[in-house]
């Protein structure tokens, strides 16, 4: 059978780093509150005029370099984002043009913070169906553009950035020892729309809008749903928590990550953490974490990775893959 193996990864973070102290000067908040409630210490914000596709293009180039490939080797691009440069065309096509590719397909997937997990599962299905040999899967966001800077309960949480992986078709035996994506579990429940949304849009207000979140309610869903989806997809792969070498979670809140790891019986040494330095970068957070950990040489070939995320919708899911 065919499996989708990660051949390379890369990321890009905007130059401007904003420490928690920046918010102390502007809002009724403190470094202590932000660190203790979220684990966030700093985040990157895109420069004026720097767009989501700019970040995505840089992450894609880094992933191609890491894979030892050139842009023409790519058959398709899937970008997970909720903060596109324009309403259309897709960020995917902008990344495609930026890389100088004129063949294959490019489009966006929108599942907010769960976007990269959805995009990865989507690209994997296309590769296994024989529709492409190599797909660039990118998570790229500029959440700083949809912040209400007067709302301390949200604006301290998010950051900008992009991460990318090159997924490549490889022949495999069809067992849980194969390299590549072994299973995925995707879920949505649109009745929770009001827990996390942006209060603007093309067909409603005609504006881009600003992010609104009932954080403590989202927190409860996250704690309950993330370990469950990980168990479901591990089960689909014929594996259990005990087989897991690395948890690469969505980086929204250290307390959510710790609770998920505890439920899975994983020590924190097996968890990739970037939340302190990146904040919550929505769909970019998992590929950023994957790329940072890969750059640090933390993954060995054959290691079993679990990625999981939850976000607006609500939408949540997980992907099991062997490095």
Active site residues: 113, 250, 280
C-beta of 60: minimal distance to ligand UT7 in Å? Answer: 23
Of 20 and 90, the one with the shorter C-beta distance to ligand UT7 is 20
Closest residue to ligand UT7 in the complex (CB): 215
105 belongs to the binding site for ligand UT7 (CB under 6 A): no
Sketch the per residue contact string, 199 through 238, with ligand UT7: x for CB under 6 A, - otherwise: ----------------xx-xx--x----------------
Of 275 and 306, the one with the shorter C-beta distance to ligand UT7 is 275
176 belongs to the binding site for ligand UT7 (CB under 6 A): no
Of 29 and 170, the one with the shorter C-beta distance to ligand UT7 is 29
Please pick, from the candidates 9, 90, 142, 253, the single residue that binds ligand UT7 as defined by CB under 6 A: 253
80 belongs to the binding site for ligand UT7 (CB under 6 A): no
280 belongs to the binding site for ligand UT7 (CB under 6 A): yes
C-beta of 68: minimal distance to ligand UT7 in Å? Answer: 33
256 belongs to the binding site for ligand UT7 (CB under 6 A): yes
Give the C-alpha separation, 121 to 319, whole Å. 7
Query: Of the ranges 28-36, 88-96, 170-178, 232-240, which one interacts with ligand UT7 (CB under 6 A)?
Result: 28-36
Helix, strand and coil percent figures for the chain, each rounded to 5:
40, 25, 35
**DSSP code for 313:** T
C-beta of 30: minimal distance to ligand UT7 in Å? Answer: 6
Starting from the edge strand earliest in sequence, which strands make up the sheet with 246-249, in order?
A: 180-188, 315-322, 304-311, 246-249
Return the closest-CA partner of residue 161 out of 226, 213, 83.
83
Applying CB under 6 A, what is the total number of residues that bind ligand UT7? 20
Q: Kindly write down the DSSP assignment for every residue of 128-156, as one continuous string.
A: HTTS-SEEEEEEEEEGGGG--TT-HHHHT
Backbone angles phi, psi at 198, to 5 degrees: -110, 130
Token pair in block for residue 2: 């065919």
Of 27 and 131, the one with the shorter C-beta distance to ligand UT7 is 27
Give the C-alpha separation, 40 to 276, whole Å. 4
Q: Kindly write down the DSSP assignment for every residue of 157-225, as one continuous string.
A: TB-EEEEEEEEEEEE--SSTTSSEEEEEEEEE-GGGGGGEEES--TTTTSS---EEE-HHHHHHHHHHH
Please pick, from the candidates 4, 38, 82, 318, the single residue that binds ligand UT7 as defined by CB under 6 A: 38
Residues 68, 12: contact at Cβ < 8 Å? no
Query: Of the ranges 62-70, 122-130, 250-258, 286-294, which one interacts with ligand UT7 (CB under 6 A)?
Result: 250-258
Site of interaction with ligand UT7 (CB under 6 A): 29, 33-34, 37-38, 113, 152-153, 156, 215-216, 218-219, 222, 252-253, 256, 280, 310-311
């Amino acid at each position: 059978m065919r499996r989708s193996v990660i051949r390379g990864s890369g990321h890009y973070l905007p130059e401007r780093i904003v420490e928690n102290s920046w918010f102390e000067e502007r809002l009724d908040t403190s470094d202590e509150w932000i660190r203790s409630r979220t684990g966030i210490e700093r985040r990157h914000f895109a420069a004026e005029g720097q767009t989501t596709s700019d970040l995505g293009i840089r992450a894609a180039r880094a992933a191609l370099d890491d894979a030892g490939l050139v842009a023409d080797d790519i058959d398709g691009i899937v970008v997970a984002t909720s903060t596109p440069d324009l309403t259309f065309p897709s960020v995917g096509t902008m990344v495609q043009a930026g890389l100088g590719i004129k063949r294959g397909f490019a489009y966006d997937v929108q599942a907010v913070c769960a976007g990269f997990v959805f995009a990865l599962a989507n690209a994997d299905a296309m590769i296994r169906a024989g529709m492409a040999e190599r797909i660039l899967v990118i998570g790229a966001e500029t959440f700083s553009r949809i912040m209400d800077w007067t709302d301390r309960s949200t604006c301290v949480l998010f950051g900008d950035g992009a991460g990318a992986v090159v997924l490549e078709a490889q022949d495999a035996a069809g067992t849980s020892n194969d390299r590549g994506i072994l299973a995925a579990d995707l879920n949505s429940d649109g009745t929770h729309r009001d827990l996390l949304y942006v209060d603007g849009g093309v067909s409603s207000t005609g504006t881009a809008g600003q992010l609104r979140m009932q954080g403590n309610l989202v927190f409860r869903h996250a704690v309950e749903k993330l370990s469950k989806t990980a168990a479901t997809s591990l089960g689909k792969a014929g594996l259990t928590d005990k087989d897991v070498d690395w948890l690469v979670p969505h980086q929204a809140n250290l307390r959510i990550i710790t609770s998920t790891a505890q439920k899975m019986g994983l020590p924190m040494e097996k968890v990739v953490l970037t939340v302190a330095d990146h904040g919550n970068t929505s769909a970019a957070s998992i590929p950023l974490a994957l790329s940072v950990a890969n750059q640090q040489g933390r993954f060995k070939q054959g290691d079993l990775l679990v990625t999981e995320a939850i976000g607006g919708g609500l939408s949540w899911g997980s992907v099991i893959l062997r490095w």
